[in-house]
Structure 1
Amino acid sequence: MELIFLGTGSGVPSKERNVSSLALTLLQEQNSIWLFDCGESTQHQILRTSIRPRKINKIFITHLHGDHLFGLPGLLSSRSFQGGDDLLTIYGPEGIKEYVETSLRVSGTHLTYPLSIIELSEGKLFEDDTFKVYCKKLHHGIPSYGFRIEEKDKPGELLVEKLKEKGIHPGPIYQQIKEQETSVLPNGDSISRADFLGPNKKGRTISILGDTRFTENNREFVSESDVLVHEATFNHASEQLAEQYFHSTTTQAANLAKNGSVQKLVLTHISSRYQKKDYQDLVQEARAIFPNTELAHDFFVMNIPAKK
């Protein structure tokens, strides 16, 4: 599992930062990629990575401002020419269905794969064998959402020594024991999997917030996240501007990370008013409050290792 930041700027593209898009690669977990926002030129950014568009099977749009979705029609169209034939599901605020369907209809675009569009409401968005995904409405000028991705706990390691003590030696039976609640041994005895597994491996949690003013109402939603991806459009000195434009500052994001007991904070959605010479100051503002902070840049990759 890793995060690939395809665009980390806000409002308009700049020479250093494209507008918002973030990929969560789940190739080992589900052989798929989830995309969060799809600003202008996202598919151009993808060309500079190892991402295969046909592997993208879910796209989450945080809100309907152009810097978060103007790249969506182009990506949907191109996927038809890049081997994508599996179902693609788009999740977004009310209006996303009209936007996508109108864009495809007016441009005469015909997709070669099935497309599902789901408009958001707060709460659990979906659950599958591996993940539970929740969404929460944030505080922005138009409806904007955050997403919380919870990986389910995995079964612990087989207690090999305990199996050997019972006379069960390595072989195909070990895989059977791990996969089935009850297994029948060659001698006819039945054993329970629970008796021969160590503690469950705790799953990972990632919170990805769209554009938002700072509010403590988001603390519970991001609580205990292994990674929190939070906008930091402005520096600490520009708190009034952040309030005016429904955005957050570096220090506000850091305070949420600290108060929410998250493990790591990644700042993104950086205003083009800040240049390379300013980046160290931006991240240091946040680190003064929450030391484990990174400032994302385009093509920044963050691995999120499985817990032991």
Structure 2
Amino acid sequence: MQITFLGTSSGVPTRSRNVSGIALRLPQRAEVWLFDCGEGTQHQILRSDLRVSQIRRIFVTHMHGDHTFGLMGLLASCGLAGNPERIDIYGPPDLDEYLKACRRYSQTHFSYPVKVHTVKPGVVFEDEEFSVSCAPLKHRVPAFGYRITEKDRPGHFDVEKAKVLEIPSGPLYGKLKRGEVVVLPDGRKINGAELCGQTEVGRKVVYCTDTVYCESAVELAHDADVLIHEATFAHQDAELAYQRLHSTSTMAAQVALGAHAKQLIMTHFSPRYAPGNSIELRDLLEEARSIFPNTQLASDFWTYEVPRRIAKSVVAKV
């Protein structure tokens, strides 16, 4: 599971930072999920190691242009590139109408199915490997944070050991792989947990922008392996943050601390903190680390590999 930052500026692009866009690469299923799609996102993808043809899902936090203006162009290009069988898009209530208007007035036709899902708090997507849920944030327009949860994976099943024990292959193997206790035809009881390695604990990634500090962000980010949180302003500009309903570096750190997150990555920085100004991004990093030491600053094209947690023991089901 890899996170690639495609845009880390707030409001407007700069020479070194594009507007909001994050890609979550899932190598085990050859898919890319996007979170927000600001203007120029498809150009950023072309400059990265990501493949447009692997985009399967796009999650939009809110309807402000620096998070949506790149969406229509990307979708149109995906069709011309002979992209996917289908793209599912998740976002606020106005998203579907916005895309319909863009298609109507630009006379754009998609050569593949595009399905728009209007989100509300709770689970918005789930399959056998992942679930994605959202919660409302506090911004000037309806905005949502997203939580991506990778489900736990059973530990490696020792087939050779099973053969030595003369366990007949077939349905019994499936039960043993799940850590269950099974009774063999000869009366022996076999504990599947003794034939399996430790369970691989699923990872949790949370994406919160745009928002001022709010408790729903803390709840959404509970026990996250990685919290990606906006930090538009420095602490001394907190009044601006409250006026515009954005976060400061210290607010982002307080969310991470309250949520017991493992890692905080700050993004969505105001251009006012460019190198050479009286306050720079390294100052925001220092402010955040004074509250939550395990904090990093995102930059465009930086890829972060989400680490796996220490495996937990399998509990046998009797």
Establish whether TM, by shorter chain, passes 0.5. yes
Tell me which of 305, 308, 314 is aligned to 1:306: 308
Residue 14 of structure 1: aligned partner: 14
Q: What do residues 150-188 of structure 1 show as CA deviations (whole Å, max 9, x unaligned)? A: 1110001335786476357xxxx9899648979999x99
Q: Does 1:274 align with 2:273?
A: yes
Residue 91 of structure 1: aligned partner: 90
Residue 246 of structure 1: aligned partner: 245
Q: Aligned to 1:273, what secondary structure does the other structure show?
A: helix
Q: Does 1:293 align with 2:295?
A: yes
Q: State the distance in 2 between where 1:198 and 1:117 align.
A: 40
Residue 315 of structure 2: aligned partner: none
Residue 223 of structure 1: aligned partner: 222
Residue 2 of structure 2: aligned partner: 2
Q: State the distance in 2 between where 1:257 and 1:148 align.
A: 14
State how 1:149-228 maps to structure 2 within 5 Å: 149-158=148-157, 163=162, 166=165, 178=177, 193-228=192-227
Residue 45 of structure 1: aligned partner: 44
Q: Aligned to 2:156, what secondary structure does the other structure show?
A: coil
Q: Which moved more, 1:44-53 or 1:223-232?
A: 44-53
Residue 102 of structure 1: aligned partner: 101
Change (3 A) 1:180 1:252: closer
Preserved CA contact (<8 Å) 2:55 2:84: no
CA RMSD of aligned residues (A): 2.7
Q: Aligned to 2:291, what secondary structure does the other structure show?
A: coil
Q: State the distance in 1 between where 2:275 and 2:41 align.
A: 22
Preserved CA contact (<8 Å) 2:179 2:196: no
Q: What do residues 176-221 of structure 1 show as CA deviations (whole Å, max 9, x unaligned)? A: 9648979999x99996745522342210000001200112332121
Q: Does 1:258 align with 2:260?
A: no
The amino acid across from 1:10 in the alignment is S
Residue 126 of structure 2: aligned partner: 127
Q: Aligned to 2:23, what secondary structure does the other structure show?
A: strand
Q: What do residues 119-167 of structure 1 show as CA deviations (whole Å, max 9, x unaligned)? A: 1111111210001111001000000000011111000133578647635
Q: Aligned to 2:273, what secondary structure does the other structure show?
A: coil
Preserved CA contact (<8 Å) 2:265 2:297: yes
Preserved CA contact (<8 Å) 1:85 1:112: no
Q: What do residues 59-91 of structure 1 show as CA deviations (whole Å, max 9, x unaligned)? A: 001000000000001000000122213110010
Preserved CA contact (<8 Å) 1:80 1:111: yes
Q: State the distance in 1 between where 2:187 and 2:81 align.
A: 52
Give TM-score, length-normalised by structure 1: 0.91
Q: State the distance in 2 between where 1:85 and 1:218 align.
A: 33
Preserved CA contact (<8 Å) 2:91 2:117: yes
Q: Which moved more, 1:101-110 or 1:213-222?
A: 213-222
Change (3 A) 1:182 1:102: farther
Preserved CA contact (<8 Å) 1:123 1:135: yes
Q: State the distance in 1 between where 2:74 and 2:51 align.
A: 11
Change (3 A) 1:159 1:210: same
Q: What do residues 29-76 of structure 1 show as CA deviations (whole Å, max 9, x unaligned)? A: x22110000000001111111111111010001000000000001000
Preserved CA contact (<8 Å) 2:62 2:91: yes
Query: Residue 255 of structure 1: CA displacement?
Result: 1.0
The amino acid across from 1:285 in the alignment is E
Q: State the distance in 1 between where 2:177 and 2:231 align.
A: 44
- Unmatched segments (≥5 aa) in structure 2: 312-318
Residue 32 of structure 2: aligned partner: 33
Equivalent pairs counted in the alignment come to 304
Q: Aligned to 2:266, what secondary structure does the other structure show?
A: strand
Query: Residue 279 of structure 1: CA displacement?
Result: 2.0
Change (3 A) 1:86 1:181: farther
Query: Residue 261 of structure 1: CA displacement?
Result: 0.4
Identity %: 46
Q: Aligned to 2:73, what secondary structure does the other structure show?
A: helix
Give TM-score, length-normalised by structure 2: 0.88
Q: Aligned to 2:4, what secondary structure does the other structure show?
A: strand
